[in-house]
Amino acid sequence: MTAPHTPPTAGRGLDRRTLFQCLLSGGALLVGARLGAATGLLAADAVDTDCADALQPSVWLAIDPNGAVRIWAHRSEMGTGIRTSLPMVVADELGADWDRVEIVQALGDTAYGSQNTDGSRSVRRFYETMRQAGAAARALLEQAAANTWGVDASACTAREHTVHGPDGRSLGFGALVAAARELELPSEDSLRFRPRSEWRYVGKEEVKFYDLDDVVTGAAKFGADVRPEGMVFAAIWRVPVLGGTIEDFDDAAARAVPGVLDVVELEPFRGAPAFQALGGIAVIARNTFAAFQGRDALEVEWEGGRHAAFDSDAFHEAMQATAHKPGTVVRELGDVDTAMESATATHEAMYSVPFLAHAQMEPVNAVAHFVDGKCTVWAPTQNPQAAQASVAQALRIGPADVTVHVTLLGGGFGRKSKPDYVVEAALLSKQLGKPVRVQWSREDDTRHDYYHSAAAVYAKAGLDADGMPQAWLQRSVFPPIGLTFNPLGTQPSAGELGLGFTDIPYGIANLRCEAGPAKAGTRIGWMRSVHHVQHAFAECSFVDELAARAGKDPVEYLEALIGEPRLVDMTGVDYPNQGETLERYPVDTGRLLRVLRHVAKESGWGRELPKGRGLGIAAHRSFLGYVCCVVEVDVQKNGTVRIPRVDIGIDAGTVINPDRVRAQLEGATAFGIGIAMLGEISFEKGAVVQSNYDSFPVPRIHESAREVRTYILPSEELPSGVGETGTPPIAPAVCNAIFAATGKRVRELPVRKHDLSWG
């Protein structure tokens, strides 16, 4: 992994902030801002001062006189390949040779627009930005070559790290840097983008994961690999109940542990937890082992506070009771009540999803060094800008005085976009006057997470004589993420309800969606696919139930329910659509049908299976992409469930990196199987019961799918989400397959709680 650098900045005749405001608007590079000679964009204060003669036309890339191309990766790498994929777009438009590209991890800086690497937004929000960055730099090189040869720029083409001109003339990128530095930036409307036929990297299989060699050889640098001189290690004892208080503690035994240097207390958070440090007792030591041993030796008297009675079983019962009552109407079509009354029959079901932990492989950790009123942080963070802001607030310094270096992440799933652990390290460093690494254990991660919301989703359909719904009512009840930031925010937001609930794609004339309030005694946060977890589980399972009741094939029933290809009319619905306009990213049932039919065909839907085996299907739109999966289960007579095969396909629009898309679908399958079969966080007396992978298991090899077949549907639509998009339909497809195999319907996750024995 290359060392982090600051972005190229303007230090000559144009202040840095003004430059960034000109270059960026909502994360997009506006190369149309004609800022004078390109040399005016070069940074006098850039970190890489060893090459002050580089061409740096934007914050995204620099070309050195020796021809080397450096591309700044502003998103966090946690296995998705985003440090590879976005630079691929730049390199393709530039015409660079990938072997001569160096990827530089960017610092946390608002210059880059959003750096929050979650929500499946990285490619979608920065694909066009990266194209513009590459095309603008290419235009400068081609114009420089044209000026050198006295020809029109249209006669010059940059490819394979060389600008080619008429009569076989050519000049390498490095040879053109000096001349290109004297040119004005091209206007935005003058940029020429390469046609798909000329793409060398985008959509192709040849580009290797940039960090692969370092990862597989152990050379990659993760958060725990950072070791500034003089660093000490900290493990923190935290009150098991959110908002509880420490009444008294005895640290004598902790201080007697070899290697322990000190024991200090961290103040508890105030108000809503947000991204604040939870507080507690920190044991400072020469290494992590001593720190953990010392922490375990602490004797602490504590009080649980207002959440000491929180019990997840009672909470689930309360949510289900709320879901049985009318809620706040968030979408309505036609007259549901009248259509329900006139229906030939009705069918209803209640679905339940537990609290879930992220359980990423690498427990959170961070290194901080506070000195002379400034703080430097090294962390595996998905959101360096949030870390910067949160540390600044906690230390009462300006954000500009906080430098955040992003290391590689050993998984994230949304947990590492919440920088409470970074704040802990910063507070301790300020208190101790030396670099501090805060290391969480697996138990810390499990018991002090920002949990995925538990949920209850109720569905009721009024059916016609053919078993098709003429009325559909659904209610969703879950503690919203807003509670973490505002204790009074018990009602789900429009954005949360837009995650698979209000954007239901079925062609139903009479539809009503309602939401109810819930308040939990824990931190709630976003986790991979967020509220699509419960909404896809409920809706895709309910459709399968309706198909079975009607005696129809689930695929044929689902096709009929979706109806003719159309753009779903969301008029009158508060539907944020992932921050995108419906004109750019409509709810397109044609794309959902396309992926449904493709996966059904490839899976061999309808093939005969022996007793105890079954196929289940689910199709769902999430994060602006469309996914369908068919799961095959093998249920043993004792109820043990095995998954021989999963077929999963995606329409994600324009695909940058097919290898990473397939990997994400495979990972989403494993993650979804974990949600379906195993995952559950429960609370007793306000504290989390589970502690490690033995009590909050993730799928082991024999519990995962034996075979995963992935399909990427070709598309020239705008890029959509991938990382989160594959997860939502897995759980309902698993449960639908269990019904096909055993006749037993699973409405409450995880599956392991149910007796599925047969025969």
Q: Does one domain contain both 349 and 391?
A: no
Q: What is the pLDDT of residue 10?
A: 31
Residues forming a β-bridge with 618: 629
Half-sphere exposure of 556 (CA within 13 A, CB side): 8
The residue with greater pLDDT, 38 or 259, is: 259
Give me the pLDDT at residue 470, please: 98
Cis amide linkage into residue 240, ω under 30° from 0: no
Beta bridge partners of 629: 618, 648
In the predicted structure, residue 108 carries a pLDDT above the cut 50:
yes
**Rounded Cα–Cα distance for residues 687 and 354 (Å):** 15
Q: Is the pLDDT of residue 47 over 70?
A: no
Tell me, yes or no, whether 620 and 657 share the same domain.
yes
pLDDT of residue 51: 63
How far apart are the C-alpha atoms of 407 and 232, rounded to whole Å?
Answer: 19
* Rg for the chain, CA atoms, rounded: 27
The reply to whether 445 falls in a domain is: no
Average pLDDT over residues 44-68: 77
Quick one: pLDDT band at residue 21, thresholds 50, 70, 90? very low
SS (H, E, C) 200-219: CCCCCCCCCCCCHHHHHHCC
Residue 9 in any domain: the answer is no
How does 606-621 read in b/e, with b if 16+ C-beta sit within 10 Å? Answer: eeebeebbbbbbbbbb
Q: Are residues 189 and 317 in the same domain?
A: no
Are 167 and 299 contained in the same domain? no
The model's confidence at residue 206, banded by pLDDT at 50, 70 and 90, is: confident
Percent of the chain topping pLDDT 70 = 93
Average pLDDT over residues 380-408: 98
Kind of pairing, strands 625-635 and 613-622?
A: antiparallel
Q: Do 510 and 370 sit in the same domain of this protein? A: no
pLDDT for the residue numbered 6: 42
- Boundary (domain end) residue, out of 184, 217, 250: 217
User: Span 92-97, mean pLDDT?
Assistant: 98
Whether 76 contacts 406, CB under 8 Å: yes
How many angstroms from the chain centroid is the CA of residue 193? 29
Residues 335-343, mean pLDDT to the nearest whole number: 98
End of a domain among 186, 217, 248? 217
Please state, for a pLDDT cut of 90, what percent of the chain lies above it.
92
275 and 350 part of one domain: no
Taking CA atoms, 36 is separated from 12, 31, 128, 306, 324, in Å, by 11, 12, 23, 61, 64
Q: Is 1 within the bounds of a domain?
A: no
Q: Report pLDDT digits (tens) over 500-536.
A: 999 999 999 999 999 999 999 999 999 999 999 999 9
Task: Assess whether 167 and 121 both reside in one domain.
Answer: yes
Tens-place pLDDT, residues 444-480:
999 999 999 999 999 999 999 999 999 999 999 999 9
Q: Is the pLDDT of residue 13 over 60?
A: no
Asked if residue 6 is part of any domain, the answer here is no
260 and 341 fall within a common domain: no
Closest CA to 354 of 412, 313, 408: 313
The answer on 326 and 289 residing in a single domain is no
H helix runs in 181-301, sequence order:
212-217, 252-255, 288-296
Where residue 298 falls among pLDDT bands split at 50, 70, 90? very high
Using alpha carbons only, give the angle 731, 732, 736 rounded to the nearest 5 degrees: 120
Q: Please check the confidence at residue 559 and state whether its pLDDT lies above 90.
A: yes
pLDDT exceeds 50 at position 34:
no
Does 758 fall in a domain?
Answer: no
Counting the structural domains of the chain, the total is 3
Per-residue pLDDT, 531: 98
Q: In this structure, are 504 and 392 located in the same domain? A: no
How far is CA 170 from each of CA 56, 69, 148, 154, 228, rounded to the nearest angstrom? 22, 18, 11, 14, 46
Least confident of 17-31, 351-365, 673-687: 17-31
Q: What pLDDT band is residue 14 in, cutting at 50, 70 and 90? A: very low
Q: In this structure, how many other beta carbons lie within 10 angstroms of the beta carbon of residue 701?
A: 7
At 158 the pLDDT is 98
Residue 600 sits in a domain whose CATH number is 3.30.365.10
Give me the mean pLDDT over the 549-576 stretch. Answer: 97
- DSSP secondary-structure letter at 719? P
Q: Give the confidence band of 22 by pLDDT, cuts at 50, 70, 90.
A: very low
Per-residue pLDDT, averaged over 537-551, amounts to: 98
Q: In this structure, are 337 and 259 located in the same domain?
A: no
- The answer as to whether 2 is a domain residue is no
Mean pLDDT taken over the chain: 93
> What integer is the mean pLDDT of 556-565?
98
Q: What is residue 31's predicted lDDT score, i.e. its pLDDT?
A: 31
**pLDDT confidence bin for 115, thresholds 50/70/90:** very high
- End of a domain among 439, 462, 489? 439
Whether residue 537 is found in the same domain as residue 625? yes
Whether residue 444 is contained in a domain is answered as no
Number of H helices, E strands in the chain: 18, 28
Instruction: Give burial (CB, 10 Å; 0-12/13-18/19+) of 372.
Output: exposed
Which residue range(s) make up the domain with 371?
A: 223-305+364-439
Report the predicted TM-score, pTM, of the whole model to 2 decimal places.
0.93
CA angle, residues 616, 648, 757, in degrees to nearest 5: 30
Q: What is the pLDDT of residue 122?
A: 97
**Assigned domain for 577 exists:** yes
Kindly report the length of the chain.
759
